[in-house]
Each structure stands twice: as C-alpha cells, then as structure tokens.
Structure 1
Amino acid sequence: MSNSSLEHAIAAIRSAQLIGATEEHVVAVPTADSDKIKLQPIVVEAYSRLRDEAKRAGFELEIASGFRDFQRQQGIWTKKLAASNESERALEQILHWSAFPGTSRHHWGTDFDFFDAREFPPHKDTDKKLQLVANEYNLGGPCYQLYQWLREHAAQFGFYWPYKGRGNGVAAEPWHLSYAPLAVHYQALWQRAEQEDYLRTFIREQNLVGFSLVESRLNNIIQRYSLQVETPPPEATQ
C-alpha cells in the first residue's frame, strides 16, 4: 500500500459512502466467487496480499460478504423487524446482530466477512453450509485454524476485528475484518452532528419500515453501535 493511494482514498470519502447510498467507491474483488462481492480498491489490494500469505500457510481465505449498500441492509432490517413484536427488547436483539440501515460498516467498502474455503467446497455434496456463527470460528470449528492464523498476521496487512463483544452493543464477530487505515476515517465522520442529520434525511426519503420506532434514539444507535468498537492495534494503522 502506498501512502498516495491511501491519501487518495481518504480524500475521496463522502457522506453518501458512509451510509451506503452509493457504490461509487467500490470495485469487484477479482478472486471472489461472485462479482457482487466488492471492496474499495485499496482494500482489495491489501486483502489480496493477505490472501496470498494465507494460501502459503495452507488456508483458502475467501470473502463471504463485502460491501453492502443501504438497500441491502434495509432488506435485512425489514425482514428481522417483521419477524419481531417490535418491542424495545426485540429492537435491541436485532441491533445486537444486525446494523441499522445506514450505520453498517459494510457500507464503507473497508470491511468484509471471511471464511476458510477449504472447509466449504462449493460443489461438494454436503449439508455443510457457512452460517457465520461463533461455533464455526471457535475451537473445533471449520474456520478456527484460519482465525487463529489471522490473529497473528492480519494486523501486518492493516486488518483488525472491530467487534469483539466487549461491552459494546454489537455481538462479537470473529468473521468480520476491517481495513483500519481507511475505516478509522469513515468512523470519525460519525463524530460530526451533520452526519446524523444527513442519515435522518436520507432515511425519511427511503420510507424505511420501522423508522418511527427508532428515530428518537438514532443518536444513541450511532453512539452505541457505530462508535463503540475496538481500537485498531498500532501495527494495523502503520
């Protein structure tokens, strides 16, 4: 990664990117199984180097989910809300596992969910399907060894885990990696009051189902679920 590439990516950050209202900042990941899996170019570069290093160590690091726009996150939210009783507790449960539309780190093109493709052959006749649950990354799980290897090496390539479930609103996500050198600049935008206003206006235009249930606590959602994340290790931001 060159300093000029990072500086260019930082300079190109826009509010619309922060909330998933555009995909102008992302490109398809060439090695992914689907051209729908996208990340920012500088993140693709770092991921490719990490993937190559993992391959030399005997793993097949692949992406299950990368960039996700507002509409896709809206679909996840709407489906989960429809299956709930819309109580305060139900909303907390939804937000514990799924980001509110417009606040997902997947909007930025800096974050992705990974797995070990060795353990999930695409054409093998098996009932084994990737679920992105903790047991798959815990001791004895199919992605455990890759996860342990990444814990030793990911930071060298700029990646870290933003969600470790240590007191913040979001559950631990051992499958979720974030490219720290760029992601920290998106996260910093949420410190500006005008970004919340921008999101609020955009959501009203989208007629988001259930927004009336959370509109008064939008600031709390941003503070608790978007800003209370792990601090990247120093080696990931150098």
Structure 2
Amino acid sequence: MQRKKFIQLSTAGLVGLSSVSFSHFQSKLSKDDLMGKGNPILVGEGYKLRKKAHQAFLKMKSAALKQDIKLKVVSSYRDYAHQNRIWERKYERYTANGLSPIKAIHKIIEYSTIPGTSRHHWGTDLDIVDGSVKQPRDVLLTKHFHDDGPFTRFKTWMDHNASDYGFHLVYTNKKGRKGFKYEPWHFSYAPSSIPMLNEFKKLDIKTELQKTILMGSSNFTSDFIQQYMNENVLDINPELL
C-alpha cells in the first residue's frame, strides 16, 4: 500500500473513531444525568467528580501545593435530593422570616439553584478554598477572597493558573452580569461542563420545572423560568459557554 494512501485511510479511521466516541459520550447524557437524578460514575476522596475533571483537579492541586496552597473542596457533585434539601431549608427560613413565597425564591436564587438546574449535578464543578490557612467560620463569603482575607493568595493563584488545567470561575464579578451573585470559590472544568451545558439547553426546562412539586414551585411562571434560564443559568463566564 502506498504511504500516502495509508495515511489517508489511517486519518479517516481516527476521525471516524473520534466521532463515534463523542457521539457515544453525548448519548450517555440523559435528562436524569443533567438534572441530578442519574447515577454517574464519580471519583474522588472527600468529594466527587467525573473522571476527567478529577484528573485535571489533581494536577492543579499538585501545582498549587508547590506554592503552599492546599486546594480544599467544600462542595462538588450534588444530586437532586441534596439540592432540594438546600432549597427547602432556605425557603422555610426566608418565609418564616416574613418573606412572601416569590420574594423568598428570588432571595434563594441569589446563590442557590432550583433543584434540577444546578451545575453541581454534572460532576464538573467545585467550590474550593485554601485548606492551608486558618478556616473562617463561614468559608464561602466573598470578603474572605479579597484584601486581607484568608483566601486572597489562593484567589490570586487561581486567577493566574486555573485555566491552565481547564478550570474557570463560573460566576464572575464582571460589571453588568446578572443572575447568581459573584462566587470566587466556584470553578468548573470546561472540557466536560461545556458539553453538559449544551445538552442541558436542549431540555424543555419550563415543562420540567412546572411539573415538579417543590416548595414555592407554584410561582414558577413561564416568564420567571425564562428569566431564570437567561440570567442564572446562561449569564456566566463566557469561557464556559
């Protein structure tokens, strides 16, 4: 066989294999997987991620440790039931404090997602802090990551290095960004989360949310859901779109 023809056939075979592999990966992303109701294969000690995200995180963790920064995972994969417990706890607290149901919902979605719509359902996202410093009482407060905060050096390192390992801040402090408030601790592994988001956008979320019985879900009007999708789900770091 001529060398040129062999190379052409080999290349075609590789392209074909790549397409099949990608299609196979995509076909595995069921609605349940995307909404936290599936049973994904996850790995990690003290946290759970999909395999590729976990491998990249370990490399990033090793690099950070060389600078005396110990990446500590506060939260990783959360299934639907876990997200619903967060939702119910906050809904009950806010309504008990006098907020109307719709105001309680808007208060919740400053930082927490509606169950079934969380990026933490995908096994690609992490809430991270620096475990090498004295831990404040509530670690996930913006003030800890700026000025004289205990996680300022961690944030500076992540700003300069996280993207080298495929991780990007999800909810930035970019002026004019809407939806969830700034979270300097929440990072996403782009090579896996971008395909997940693209598949999630294909779901009929309006129907899914309106048929789900959640605390306050009677307030999930079509207009509310559309705004939630545009602002909370999609108004994120452009590197993750």
Structure 2 length-normalised TM: 0.80
Unaligned stretches of 5+ residues in structure 1: 122-127
Hey, what's the Cα distance between the residues in 1 that align with 2:125 and 2:48?
Answer: 10
- The yes-or-no answer on 1:156 pairing with 2:164 is yes
Hey, what's the Cα distance between the residues in 2 that align with 1:210 and 1:93?
Answer: 12
Following superposition, the deviation at residue 9 of structure 1 comes to 5.0
Hey, what's the Cα distance between the residues in 2 that align with 1:43 and 1:9?
Answer: 15
The structure with the larger Rg is 2
Matches within 5 A, 1:87-236: 87-120=101-134, 128-166=136-174, 167-201=177-211, 203=212, 207-216=213-222, 217-232=224-239
Matches within 5 A, 1:15-30: 15-22=31-38, 24-30=39-45
Cα offsets for 1:177-215 (capped at 9, x unmatched): 0001111112112432535434544x2xxx322111224
Tell whether the 8 Å contact from 1:190 to 1:222 is kept in structure 2 after alignment.
no
Hey, what's the Cα distance between the residues in 1 that align with 2:102 and 2:218?
Answer: 13
Following superposition, the deviation at residue 173 of structure 1 comes to 0.3
Aligned AA (2:216): G
Unaligned stretches of 5+ residues in structure 2: 1-16
Which of 74, 78, 83 pairs up with 2:93?
83
Following superposition, the deviation at residue 56 of structure 1 comes to 1.0
Following superposition, the deviation at residue 97 of structure 1 comes to 1.4
State the identity %: 26
Hey, what's the Cα distance between the residues in 2 that align with 1:26 and 1:172?
Answer: 30
Tell whether the 8 Å contact from 1:120 to 1:129 is kept in structure 2 after alignment.
no
Moved more, 175-184 or 165-174: 165-174
Hey, what's the Cα distance between the residues in 1 that align with 2:65 and 2:156?
Answer: 14
Following superposition, the deviation at residue 14 of structure 1 comes to 2.1
Cα offsets for 1:134-162 (capped at 9, x unmatched): 01111211111011011111001000011
